[in-house]
Amino acid sequence: MYRFGEVSVQAVSRVAAILLAFTEVQGAQGVSELSRRLALPKSAVHRTLDALTSTGLVAQDPATGKYLLGPRALELGMTGFGAPDLRTLAEPVMRELMERTHETVTLSYRVQDERVYVSQVESKQPVRMTVTVGQRFPLYAGASGRAILAAMSAEDLERYLSSVELLPLTRATVYDRDQLLGVLEEVRQGGFAVSFGERDPWAAATAAAVTAGGRPIGAISVCGPLARFQGAVVSLCSEAVRDAARRISDLLSGGGTVPDPRRDAKPAAAPAPR
């Protein structure tokens, strides 16, 4: 058998098959499922997943124990499209946004008909929102996904709506097609999306799309406990996240500069009542 150093051709083929399997089925997958689909021994799948998890190419959902593509796999995809590393460019903007709003800031990539969290800057408040990096969600539910949908072309949006089943994740999820189209028009007009308890009943968020070449590749959001997202707080966060998304999009196109939070940060607003 041919070998590249200590790695066999068989092992390389197994790694490729497992990574590609995540692009063929939506959602996280378990060892047994991958073993059955790929006709590979469970022990071999488990060893390979452990190795891929250690590199960040695959991530494990701590709640279910299942696996999904990790942030490093998404970086490879972005590099293939010739785009700069979005996480690296976005990090200083995200930190400044957290200081400005006092809430957790997240960054999502669009992956086919879903989005996946690739980075977060957590709020310093005792009660705060956190996300699982690597976790995927449908685009129609929640602020980040809707921000991406609203930035799509009419053709891409129609293709998306024709190919997915809109199902409620909570009692507040907008999943009626006509209602969703109306909400997306509001997002386009305002430049940001908001959601209140649509993915998690206790959480709220505001988000704006990050674009490259005129196409949405992800979204940046400010999120926190539902009880804190009221009135002036929503207005502050929405304005701030829209500005942050514009700055990151400019950086991706080479038209902006990476901010120095110590120099460029605006005075922080007072924390919202808890």
Task: Please write the tens of the pLDDT for every residue from 182-205.
Answer: 999 999 999 999 999 998 899 999
User: Is residue 270 scored above 80 in pLDDT?
Assistant: no
* Strand, helix or coil for residue 29: strand
Angle at which helix 177-190 crosses helix 154-163, to 10 degrees, equals 150
Q: Which two tokens stand for residue 231?
A: 């009135």
User: Is residue 261 scored above 70 in pLDDT?
Assistant: no
Q: How confident is the model at residue 75 (pLDDT cuts 50, 70, 90)?
A: low
Ranges of H-type helices in the chain:
9-24, 31-38, 42-55, 71-80, 86-101, 143-150, 154-163, 177-190, 232-252, 261-264
**Res 177: pLDDT:** 93
- At a CB cut-off of 8 Å and minimum separation 6, what does 52 contact? 15, 18, 19, 58, 70
**Res 274: pLDDT:** 36
Q: What is the mean pLDDT of residues 114-127?
A: 91
Q: What is the mean pLDDT of residues 56-67?
A: 80
* Strand, helix or coil for residue 147: helix
Report the C-alpha gap between 57 and 73 in whole angstroms: 5
Please choose, from the candidates 128, 111, 108, the residue with its C-alpha nearest in 3D space to the C-alpha of residue 77.
111
CB 138 within 8 A of CB 173: no
User: Is residue 181 scored above 90 in pLDDT?
Assistant: yes
Percent of the chain with pLDDT over 90: 49
